[in-house]
C-alpha cells in the first residue's frame, strides 16, 4: 500500500463554511496504490485510485487539501469477500478531517466506499467484528446479504457505538439534533434543543447485529462532548464484560453473554482500594469529564468491584 502526492497536478474547489458564505480549498492530486501478492510473491492485483474516488464520502474540500497518507489495512472479511482499508484525510495544520473506509474484492474492484471515524464526531469503534460478519461505521452497520442497519435517529445525535460481541452492538445517543444557529452578531454556532421528554428517555441501547432487534435500553449520562464525543468505556476480556463509567453514580455493567442484563453498580456498592489486588482481580482505568478512576474487577464475579479516584 502506497500513497503519493503529485505536486504537478493542482486541485481546487469551493465549499460552504456557514450558510451563504463560501471559501476555496486548494491542494494537489494524490494516488493510492493497493497491491495484493500471493504466497509465492506473485501479483494478484494492483489497483490505483486517485483523490476523486473519495470526494463524495470524505468531503471534497478536505480530501483536496489533505496530503496523501498511506492506507491502513483493517482486515479481510470472507463474509464480505473484501479487504477493508482505512484512509485518513486531514486539512494540514488543523484538527479538521476524518477517515474513509474502502472495501476491495480479491480482484481489486471497489465494492464500497463509506465514512470512517471523523474528528469532532461520535466515538465509534470503526472496523470489522471479530468474526468478520459485520462492519461498523459512524453511519451504519454493514452486514453481507442484508440491508445496512442505520445508526442515526431523527431526534438525537449518535455519541458512540461499540461491538459488545459479534452479534451485539452498544449504541449511545445525545438527545436533540445539532443544528447551526445564527447569533445576534451574524455568526453561527451549533447547538441542540432536546425536549424534557427526550432528556428523561433512555438514550443507550443494545441491539442485535443480525436482526437489528433491541435487546436492552437504559439512561446513561456518563459521556461528554468537547471537540467530539468521549465515552468512558472499557471491555474487559477477562470477564467478557463491558463497563461504562458514570462519574456521579458508578459503573454500568454489560455482560457479553447476557446483553439484556445491563446493571448499574453504584460507587456505594463498591469497596475502596486500600489493600493489594487479589490474584483474581483485573485492573483498568477510565477518564470521565471531571475525574480519573481506577477499577479492580473480580474476574470470578464481574460485579464485585473495587475503585479508586486518582484525581479530579
Instruction: List, in order, residues 6 or more apart from 39 with CB less than 8 Å away.
Output: none
pLDDT digits (tens, 9 = 90+) for 201-260: 999 999 999 999 999 999 999 999 888 899 999 999 999 999 999 999 999 999 999 999
Residue-wise over 240-260: b if at least 16 C-beta within 10 A, else e? Answer: ebbbbbbbeebbbbbbbeebe
**Total domains in the fold of the chain:** 3
Whole-number pLDDT of residue 312: 64
- Out of 176, 197, 231, a domain closes at 231
Are 115 and 21 members of one domain?
yes
Q: How far is C-alpha 110 from the geometric centre of its chain's CA atoms?
A: 23
Q: What is the CATH number of the domain that holds 98?
A: 2.40.128
pLDDT band at 274 (very low <50, low <70, confident <90, very high): low
CB 175 within 8 A of CB 192: yes
* Mean pLDDT estimate for the chain: 91
Are 105 and 193 members of one domain?
no
pLDDT digits (tens, 9 = 90+) for 61-103: 999 999 999 999 999 999 999 999 999 999 998 988 999 999 9
- Out of 89, 119, 149, a domain closes at 119
Are 106 and 138 members of one domain?
no
CB 142 within 8 A of CB 135: yes
Are 197 and 244 members of one domain?
no
Evaluate if residue 138 carries a pLDDT over 70: yes
Q: At 5, list the grid cell.
A: 502526492
Evaluate if residue 171 carries a pLDDT over 90: yes
Are 226 and 125 members of one domain?
yes
- Out of 119, 151, 186, a domain closes at 119
Are 111 and 58 members of one domain?
yes
Are 45 and 141 members of one domain?
no
Are 39 and 151 members of one domain?
no
Whole-number pLDDT of residue 8: 92
Whole-number pLDDT of residue 302: 84
Report which secondary-structure segment, H or E, holds 60.
Answer: helix 60-65
On the 0-12 / 13-18 / 19+ scale of CB atoms within 10 A, 80 is buried
On the 0-12 / 13-18 / 19+ scale of CB atoms within 10 A, 50 is middle
Range of the domain at 22: 1-119
Are 82 and 139 members of one domain?
no
Are 101 and 212 members of one domain?
no
Pseudo-torsion of CA 191, 196, 201, 204, nearest 10°?
Answer: 20
pTM: 0.89
Are 113 and 187 members of one domain?
no
Are 23 and 91 members of one domain?
yes
Q: At 200, list the grid cell.
A: 428523561
Nearest to 130 by CA among 74, 82, 186: 74
Amino acid at each position: 500500500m502506497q500513497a503519493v502526492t503529485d505536486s504537478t497536478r493542482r486541485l481546487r474547489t469551493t465549499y460552504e463554511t456557514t450558510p451563504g458564505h463560501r471559501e476555496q480549498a486548494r491542494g494537489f492530486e494524490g494516488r493510492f496504490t493497493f497491491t495484493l501478492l500471493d504466497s509465492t510473491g506473485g501479483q494478484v492485483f494492483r489497483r490505483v485510485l486517485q483523490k476523486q474516488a473519495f470526494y463524495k464520502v470524505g468531503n471534497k474540500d478536505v480530501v483536496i487539501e489533505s496530503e496523501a497518507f498511506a492506507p491502513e489495512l483493517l482486515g479481510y472479511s470472507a463474509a464480505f469477500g473484501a479487504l477493508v482499508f482505512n484512509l485518513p484525510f486531514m486539512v494540514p495544520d488543523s484538527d479538521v478531517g476524518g477517515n474513509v473506509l474502502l472495501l476491495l474484492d480479491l480482484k481489486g474492484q471497489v465494492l464500497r466506499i463509506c465514512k470512517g471515524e471523523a474528528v469532532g464526531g461520535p466515538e465509534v469503534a470503526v472496523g470489522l467484528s471479530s468474526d468478520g460478519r459485520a462492519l461498523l461505521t459512524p453511519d451504519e452497520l454493514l452486514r453481507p446479504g442484508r440491508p445496512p442497519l442505520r445508526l442515526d435517529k431523527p431526534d438525537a445525535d449518535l455519541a458512540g457505538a461499540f461491538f459488545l460481541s459479534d452479534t451485539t452492538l452498544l449504541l449511545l445517543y445525545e438527545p436533540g439534533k445539532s443544528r447551526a444557529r445564527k447569533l445576534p452578531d451574524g455568526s453561527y454556532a451549533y447547538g441542540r434543543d432536546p425536549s424534557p421528554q427526550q432528556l428523561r428517555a433512555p438514550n443507550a441501547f443494545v441491539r442485535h447485529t443480525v436482526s437489528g432487534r433491541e435487546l436492552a435500553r437504559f439512561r446513561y449520562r456518563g459521556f461528554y462532548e468537547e471537540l467530539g464525543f468521549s465515552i468512558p468505556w472499557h471491555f474487559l476480556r477477562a470477564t467478557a464484560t463491558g463497563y461504562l463509567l458514570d462519574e456521579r453514580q458508578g459503573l454500568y455493567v454489560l455482560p457479553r453473554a447476557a446483553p439484556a442484563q445491563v446493571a448499574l453498580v453504584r460507587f456505594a456498592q463498591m469497596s475502596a482500594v486500600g489493600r493489594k489486588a487479589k490474584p483474581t482481580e483485573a485492573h483498568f482505568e477510565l477518564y470521565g469529564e471531571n475525574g480519573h478512576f481506577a477499577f479492580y474487577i473480580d474476574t470470578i464475579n464481574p460485579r464485585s468491584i473495587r475503585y479508586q479516584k486518582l484525581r479530579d
